[in-house]
Structure 1
């Protein structure tokens, strides 16, 4: 899966105290764990089976892997606790700080990550989930979140920044590795970057990846047909795409953060892909 850093902590390498904390949440000790790839976090990510047959998804990280990651996990836990039932996201079962390990235990979602390059069957499921998110989370039901403009200040140019405002709950970090599909539906996972902004922002951000991996026609068709974007001025979407291209290329030129060796290459690919997409849209 794209974005996998290949350096995740494994379940068996976590301290016994973390294992005990997860068992306390589940009410039974874990007897099997299957590590999950994808994403950029250096922490653990495991589907676990407990002795009593219960299942969950567990993620844990300490400052030894990356200094910023525990705070992101803690923020995700606060956000997950406030997500209403209608939001297509796993339910948080428990979260705790064990020594210096931030641990999250969530419902296991019976799904898989979307296939890359993107297929329209998977994308259609995700689009429906995002349209559902806009229905149940406008106005945003999660208190205390920054606005998209606040979250992206210093990242997007001003011209793009002024266009992303709104009152919808926004995930703000959608890629295939932060999505699961199965059983005719899709779930959004990993919420630490959530904010309040334009209802179309998540779909536009997801289409960065769709377009870059060869789905140019699929990305443009989705923009034309989804209820989230079909009535948005195309020039607005192009300006925001161009702003994100600038952001990704700027970040790609910086040193890699500790524990995240693949991040800069991913950002370079995203920025270059977005620049090509912007050029095509402006040539029409």
Structure 2
């Protein structure tokens, strides 16, 4: 199964399509006219996201969402700004500049990162850069400064119980079995047992996790340094959970993902079966999500479109997680 084109998955409004009042407010805050706008092509939400260039030579990255139809994105952007403002200086993360509300929209301004997502199949130098960069981030998250938890961060254990653990729901008949390889159908009790251990592991971890670390949330700059973006899901939990999300696409490429996980500093204190229980949970989450009704078709009011590649991403990620787990467990 081929991965989606993570560099070109987004469906977003262009700068010219935003309300005139919002464009005027952003331009006034920038202090110079916008002369060019490069819409971000990665990601799965329908929010505005673009690098804006101004007449005075400045560049910024702007995210924006409609309060009326994208309230969840407004909340995410506000949470991300609070998190980024509290991360220590020097980390490879974008820095917030300001936020404003105008014309019924919320806009967040960040430093612009001149970069691109890593290429798939993985190029060894790019994978090394991403894993090295995340080791730097994970070291900070393992012993975070006191102020970083000030926004009332959620706990990964709660997020898992509320929205990620689905094999148990399938087993008791509250959720249909998603389209899945035979390994899932014949090993359902094993999958339930594995995923059920993950919340306890997450609750016992003392640090923080990004919570949504995927290849499309990473940028590589011209010097090859990895930058980590989209921090709206920071939560109390282990950094090794993030590491599994990063390595899923490496499994598809035939890389030695078991060894890469075991050798990474983020996994130094992981329980012996942390990789297996995380793979089980992610497989159930992604495969079940891929079979659900698309978000923009779920209600009576038309919402801004999400990426047409969202379900492909979920199917691909679920299949990789289950395939990797099946090999580790000797099911395949």
The answer, yes or no, to whether TM exceeds 0.5 is yes
Distance across 1 between alignment mates of 2:87 and 2:20: 30
2:217 to 178, 192, 214: 178
Deviation at 1:111, TM superposition (A): 1.9
Q: Which of 195, 200, 206 is matched with 1:162 structurally?
A: 200
Q: Contact 1:19/1:30 (CA < 8 Å) preserved in 2?
A: no
1:209 to 241, 249, 258: 249
- Structure 1 residue 72 displacement after superposition: 1.7
| TM-aligned CA distance change 1:231 to 1:138, over 3 Å | closer
Within the alignment, does 1:121 sit opposite 2:125 as a pair? yes
Q: Greater Rg, structure 1 or structure 2?
A: 2
* Distance of 2:143 and 2:268 partners within structure 1: 20
Tell me, yes or no, if structure 1 residue 140 matches structure 2 residue 180.
no
Write out aligned runs for 1:1-284 (5 A): 1-2=5-6, 4-63=8-67, 66-141=70-145, 142=148, 143=150, 144-154=152-162, 155-156=164-165, 157-165=195-203, 166-182=205-221, 183-211=223-251, 214-229=252-267, 232-258=270-296, 259-260=305-306, 261-283=308-330
Distance change >3 Å, CA 25–CA 153, structure 1 → 2: farther
Write the deviation string for residues 24-64 of structure 1: whole angstroms up to 9, x where unpaired: 33322211111120111111111111111111111112156
Q: TM-score, normalised by structure 2?
A: 0.78
Relative to the length of structure 1, the TM-score reads 0.91
Q: Which secondary structure does the structure 1 equivalent of 2:85 belong to?
A: helix
Structure with greater proportional helix content: 2
Instruction: Point out which structure has higher relative CO (alpha carbons under 8 A, 6+ apart).
Output: 2
Report the aligned-residue RMSD.
2.1
> What is the alpha-carbon distance in structure 2 between the residues aligned to residue 60 and residue 206 of structure 1?
26
1:146 offset after TM fit, Å? 1.2
CA shift in 2, pair 1:21/1:170, >3 Å: farther
Equivalent pairs counted in the alignment come to 282
Q: Is the 8 A contact 1:120 1:218 kept in 2?
A: no
2: CA distance, partners of 1:239 / 1:60 = 36
Moved more, 178-187 or 78-87: 78-87
Runs of 5+ unmatched residues, structure 2: 166-194, 297-304
Contact kept? 1:168, 1:197, Cα under 8 Å: yes
- Using the TM superposition, give the Cα deviation of residue 3 of structure 1 relative to its aligned residue in structure 2, in angstroms: 7.6
Q: Give 5+ residue unaligned stretches, structure 1.
A: none
Would the aligned equivalents of 1:20 and 1:29 in 2 still touch at CA under 8 Å? no
Bigger Cα displacement from structure 2, 58-67 vs 274-283: 58-67
Aligned residue for 1:102, secondary structure, equals strand
Tell me the SS of whatever aligns to 1:9.
coil
Q: Deviations over 1:100-129 (max 9, x none)?
A: 212111111122211112222111111112
